[in-house]
Amino acid sequence: MENEIICKIIEKFHEKILKTHKISSETTIFEINKEHLSEIIDYSYNSLNGCFLTMTGTDYLKINSNFLLDYMLGWYSNKQIIIFRTKIHRDEETFTSITNIVPCADWYEREVKESLGLNPLGHPNPRKLLLSDDWPDNIFPLRKNYKNEIPPLNKEANYPFDSPENAEIFNIIPYGPYHFAIHEPIYFRFYTEGEKISKIDLRVGFNYRGLEKIAETRMTYSTIPFLAERICGICGSVHAEAYTQAVEKAASFEAPERAKWIRVVFLEIERIHSHLLWLGVASHMVGFDSGLMQFWRVRDRIMFLAEILTGNRKLYGIIVPGGVRRDINNRKKEHVLKELSEISIEYTELTTALLNLTTLKTRLKGIGFLSQGEAKKFSVMGPVARASNVSIDSRRDYTYEAYSNLEFNLPLRSEGDVLARTLVRVNEVTESLSIIKQALEGLPDGPVYEPIEYIPPDTTSVGIVEGPRGTDVHYIITGENTVYRWRVRAPTYANLPATPIMLKDQNLADAPVIIGSIDPCISCAERFIVIDNKNREKIYNKKILEDKI
């Protein structure tokens, strides 16, 4: 029986849908002409309450003289994903922007414009997003004919900030890109009246690394997982899992059952140490430094468990297409279960003490508010969504690996403030400890790896994984022994555009903790590279940055 969402879209737009392809049990591609794109997505997103997952532009010129634009929407409660695909002919290079009707499409369309040269007509904010100010307007790094030996041309750098009409009445407060309260480069420009933030302009794009281009030009299916792990210093297994999912779906391959359960163990270990890291940093940001030390002490025990299981505290190199690279023997399993019991007791005592601090609750309560409506409007992910009472979680809704065999609750809050985001993470750690215990106790016998014999080329596939910050989406089009196109959408890329809403009308002193409450990972969100005008990659070390400041 066809999914309810698909039926409604087909019933309303059957004459405007050119083709329909079902590429997996939960994912369907609708091919449509570009002139109908806005209308169909408007209905699907706003009337049918879709969640905007990602948008991908692909240079398909060598294959059929077109560019591909794929807009991906999800319906968690219906366990459905739809890719709305339209083709842009090489002679046109324009499409109608949907940002005015789907605000969270803003960054995606700007990225397509600067990386592929496709112009989103009617976009309300067509500034550069990720490329540097002096990057020339006629060189597009994600086109297949782009070569790294093409040097960017010198050009006056001038980034047009979004200033209010009566800017002279405001104080302008720069926050970043290098600031003691943030640990990765990002730039907020606050327009304040006294201590109140009245308007916010946000700029990203300081962490370019070129990961997608490297994968498409230099790597194979089997080596990309190790690159994917390096997208984020925290969520290595999450990105490796999302990429691996996409490859295995493209190959119609089912990983060994034991491997699926082992993958869950590593995904939840990452969730725990990520949340503990955040709880420690958040404690420090509100002046509770003993909380920082205690949460990181408990986190260190989790990191040791990862080292026992893999040989590494991070960058495990475990999840690959076909299964996992290391098994968990009985000795290690019993050791981890014993440690988890002790960690669980320590964690409960620590969080009980933390949540009994009246000053902490007072500091976090009522600031950085994001309503349920705004959370849905901007398609925010993970704890940020669940703290605004948006019940989404890929582990439950797009279940994968062994999660369908495991029991866990989904922490939800309705307050939508910084305290709610904190409480969601606190409770998620408890659930993750339980999930790991269940996965180890239920670990089935059998192999942990089987080779994938064949991956058909020209196949679109999607991997969706619930990371600590929310849904990670890896989109691929397969090629010959490597990906033809690999598009990574980390949850921070979805959550950051909602921060101006959280910051509006807040006190300037609350800005660091409000921004920190989404647990931003800037490295995850940015995937290009900086090259100077002599074709040299720039490595910015601490001394250079201090000199520039």
CA 360 from centroid of its chain's CA atoms: 29
User: Are the C-beta atoms of residues 241 and 225 closer than 8 Å to each other?
Assistant: no
Residue (of 444, 363, 346, 431) closest to 396 by Cα position? 431
- pLDDT value of position 547: 45
How far apart CA 429 and CA 295 sit, in angstroms, is: 12
H or E segment and range at residue 10: helix 4-13
- pLDDT value of position 542: 40
Residue (of 236, 176, 179) closest to 211 by Cα position? 236
| Residue 359: strand, helix, or coil | helix
Residue (of 473, 467, 426) closest to 267 by Cα position? 467
How far apart CA 33 and CA 516 sit, in angstroms, is: 41
- pLDDT value of position 235: 85
Bridge partners, residue 72, by sequence: 54, 83
pLDDT, tens digit, 9 for 90 and up, residues 471-500: 999 999 999 989 999 999 999 999 999 999
> Structural domain boundaries of the chain?
4-127, 211-447+457-489
Pairing verdict, β 119-121 and 171-175: unpaired
Cα-only R_g, the chain: 23
How far apart CA 451 and CA 321 sit, in angstroms, is: 8
Largest CA distance in the chain: 69
How far apart CA 331 and CA 440 sit, in angstroms, is: 12
- pLDDT value of position 149: 63
Residue (of 421, 440, 174, 181) closest to 327 by Cα position? 440
- pLDDT value of position 50: 95
Residues of the chain with pLDDT under 70: 1-2, 148-157, 179-181, 208-209, 522-549
- CA angle at 401 for the pair 220 and 250, rounded to the nearest 5°: 40
Q: Whole-prediction pTM value?
A: 0.92
250-274 in b/e form (b: 16+ CB < 10 A) is bbebebbbbbbbbbbbbbbbbbbbb
- pLDDT value of position 524: 65
pLDDT, tens digit, 9 for 90 and up, residues 290-347: 888 999 999 999 999 999 999 888 878 899 999 999 999 999 999 999 999 999 999 9
Token pair in block for residue 96: 């109608």
- pLDDT value of position 532: 38
Sheet holding 187-193, edge to edge: 171-175, 187-193, 196-203
- pLDDT value of position 40: 97
Query: Exposure of 407 by Cβ count < 10 A (0-12 exposed, 13-18 middle, 19+ buried)?
Result: exposed
Q: Which CATH class is domain 211-447+457-489?
A: mainly alpha
What is the third-level CATH fold of 4-127?
Beta Polymerase; domain 2 (3.30.460)
